[in-house]
Chains A and B, each alone.
Chain A
Amino acid sequence: MIMKGGNTSLTVTQALKDLYSLKKPNAVLYKKKNITRPFEDSTSLEFFSKKTDSSLFLFGSHNKKRPNNLIFGRLFDFHVLDMIELGIEKYVSLSDIKASKCPEGTKPMLVFAGEAFDIDNEHKRLKSLLIDFFRGPTVPAVRLAGLEHVLNFTALDGKIFMRSYRCLLKKSGCRTPRIELEEIGPSFDLVLRRTHLASDDLYKLAHRQPKALKPKKKKNISHDAFGTKLGRVHMQKQDLSKLHTRKMKGLRKRRGAVVDGEQGGQEPKVAKVES
């Protein structure tokens, strides 16, 4: 859900509108202003989230101290989990860039660049928050021709640059196409301000998956040290004397001569299956 604070500037409203259009079917943009401060009091946020049953929010406001403020946040069980405040330094809106846009509701490809996203804790949380925000619904399969939208986030020196492109798949010699990018969409130059991150155990609690979602272990399959896949086959009791094996004429019992019996068949229990 996207909402406005007590006072908003033109940039902030435009930015909120653009981001709303990016997330079109799965977002709700509130027109009225809510005079709350998320970092101090999050009850109204929780109330709204319960009403709309949404766990991600974007709050835009503007004061003298924090001009052009955007607060990205998410909730767990209708209580605030993380909140990160970003300030807009430079903003180019959707309407300013003249290019044909891609249709609404396409699942965008996300690209994160910069080592800060892996080193700094706050940036890590920001990265996971942005992924959550922009990734769209999880689908089992995607149409290859429909991969049009790309969102690019680059982090450097506490600043985050967000660009949005449309990718054109050009013919190349081989199966994979060559990508050409064309800038559409809003471009933000953001600076990281305050953060309100969840404690470690709350974060862990939020990640708990129910047992049913865990991938089921396949029985009777094991991997040994070399990486070969071994399987077990369980057989019923076999009468080894009645097994049909290859008959080696030379090994047959001769009249009078005592020769060792035929070789037994395969071992009943373990069969090696190389993969």
Chain B
Amino acid sequence: MAACSVEELLAKAEQDEAEKLRSVTVHKELDLEFDVGNLLACDKNRIESRDLGGQRRDDFLQSLARDNTQLLVNEIWKQPTERVEEAIVAKLPEPTTPLPREKPPPKRKPPTKWEQFAKLKGIQKKKKTNLVWDENAKEWKRRWGYQRARDDTKDWLVEVPETADPNEDQFAKRVKAKKERVAKNELNRLRNIARAQKIKVPGVGLTPVAQQSKDDLSRAVSVAKHSTASVGMFQDRLPKEKPPKNTGKRRKFGPLIGDFSSERQKQLELLKIMDSKRPKLDITKAVNKQMREEDREEAAASARRERESLEESLAPVCKCQIFKMQRIYMHSHEHFEVFTTVLAPQGRYRYRAGAEKMVVVHSYRPHWPDELELSLGDVILVLSKHEEERWFGRRQHGQQGYFPASCVMELSQQKSLQTGGVGFLELDPDWRLKVWMCQPLLI
């Protein structure tokens, strides 16, 4: 009896063992897909609809769930575990199912001033070694920082350069220079921050400097005025205080030679502009140029006209303004055309009522600074005859000044010397009078 009970017991124990081992395994047709990062298991096996009918539904679902959960737990138990404060913790991998984000990914930061500059110049980021060999200490030391390799403030012997003052303390000088560099670096860092956050910061002229020039002081004063303004009211100026000069953008004038790279850059840019397909059009320049040309033509034309009109009338042509629309520029692709209103000769060519053209019959040397030099044969446009003997006129070059009335004679007076015959006075480009006489034409 005992023997068979022992056997029975053994058999039973074996059965239990087998069951235990079986209990963790689940048989499925298709393997499940696991996403351990999300603690997710997906079962793709077919489910018969008859299983889900009726009261058996919940039981079926529970058993299905149990199987799937068992498989999932098996997967999770495969992960590496560690002990954290009396609890065994399994490290989960990254979740693999792609899920949409809540918000779009953040935008890139705009490149900093250095990054823009580096991109422009083509500076690559070169990785520098952390340690540098220091000859004096004969060991590898840091490139910068605490106990760095080449620390010139820690030299025990400093040669006094020949150009230096013998009473100057070279060690103190080095320490001071170091401090200044640190301060400058700090200032630049803060300024970068301010620029990145778009906070206004006072300009260069206000950094503390040993010797402050009058310029710097005046700039500091103007900045202080701005900053102490409140509700639009500025501080009153002191009685003898002058208004600040040069507030605003200042142009930079570099040296003529010496900076070859920047010169090269400028030349290349120029070539690029010239090369580019779109022509650079400066409308004002083009208009002005055209106007000048027009004026010149008008002047020549009017001179010819004047010659002809001398025959008929002595009265000078009244002030006239000829308006014409002139097409001065047409783009090569006919995209746009620029028109300008061209006025008749203005300025020095304008005929003022009462202004007369006179010819110089006697040369004259000026005695006073505001007088005009006259040479024989010149044609002068007399602008005003304020005084009897002293007139104000203009020469062809535009020179203006006073001259005695006796030196000039009206053109008409000359002309009246001729009788009959056609003669005309030609004004050549030099405004010198040439008298042509010719026989009367018999028509």
| Chain A interface residues (CB < 8 Å from chain B) | 55, 74-78, 81, 107-115, 117-118, 127-128, 131-132, 135, 138-145, 147, 150, 152, 154, 156-157, 161, 163, 165, 167, 169, 172-181, 183, 187, 203, 205-210
Contacts and interface: CB of A to CB of B under 8 A. Distances in A.
A179 B89 CA distance: 18
20 contacts: A74-B100, A76-B103, A77-B104, A109-B41, A112-B41, A131-B97, A132-B99, A135-B40, A144-B88, A156-B52, A157-B49, A163-B65, A165-B65, A165-B69, A173-B21, A173-B23, A173-B24, A174-B20, A179-B69, A209-B101
A143 B87 contact: yes
A175 B70 CA distance: 13
B76 A180 contact: no
Contact of B47 (A114, A128, A183): A114
B89 A76 contact: no
A17 to B, nearest CB: 22
A152 B70 CA distance: 13
B24 A176 contact: yes
Contact of B98 (A118, A165, A179, A207): A207
A166 B100 CA distance: 29
Contacts of A145: 87-88
A131 B82 CA distance: 27
A207 B41 contact: no
Contact of A163 (B20, B61, B70): B61
Contacts of B106: 210
Interface in B51-79: 52, 57-58, 61-62, 64-66, 68-70, 72-74, 76-77
A243 B41 CA distance: 57
B236 interface: no
A152 B89 contact: no
Given A76-B102, A114-B47, A147-B76, A140 B88 contact: no
B17 A173 contact: yes
Nearest to B46: A115
A82 to B, nearest CB: 8
B28 to A, nearest CB: 11
Given A140-B92, A156-B47, A150 B40 contact: no
B366 interface: no
A68 to B, nearest CB: 19
B440 interface: no
Contacts of A127: 42
A152 B63 CA distance: 11
Residue of B77, B100, B102, B106 ringed by the most chain A CB atoms within 10 A = B100
6 closest Cβ pairs, A-B complex = A206-B100, A173-B20, A210-B105, A55-B102, A152-B65, A113-B43
B105 A208 contact: yes
A227 to B, nearest CB: 20
Nearest to A74: B100
A140 B88 CA distance: 14
B61 A152 contact: yes
B77 A175 contact: yes
Contacts of B66: 179-181
A118 B33 CA distance: 11
A177 B88 CA distance: 14
B244 interface: no
Contacts of A110: 38-41
Interface of B: 17, 20-21, 23-24, 37-47, 49, 52, 57-58, 61-62, 64-66, 68-70, 72-74, 76-77, 81-82, 84, 87-92, 95, 97-106
A111 B72 contact: yes
- By secondary structure, the B interface counts as mixed
B87 to A, nearest CB: 5
B21 to A, nearest CB: 5
Contacts of A109: 39-41, 69, 72-73
B68 A113 contact: yes
Given A128-B97, A131-B40, A115 B45 contact: yes
Nearest to A55: B102
Given A140-B91, A141-B92, A181-B66, A208 B45 contact: no
Contacts of A173: 17, 20-21, 23-24
A207 B100 CA distance: 5
A104 B45 CA distance: 32
A144 B38 contact: no
Nearest to A152: B65
Contact of A174 (B24, B73, B88, B103): B24
B43 A114 contact: yes
B43 A179 contact: no
A23 to B, nearest CB: 15
B21 A138 contact: no
Given A143-B87, A178-B23, A76 B100 contact: yes
Contacts of A144: 76-77, 81, 87-90
B138 to A, nearest CB: 22
Contact of B92 (A112, A131, A139, A203): A139
Residue of B46, B70, B102 ringed by the most chain A CB atoms within 10 A = B102
Nearest to A206: B100
A139 B101 CA distance: 17
Contacts of B76: 142, 144, 147
Given A74-B100, A113-B64, A152-B68, A143 B88 contact: yes
B62 A165 contact: yes
Contacts of B101: 76, 206-209
Contacts of A112: 40-43
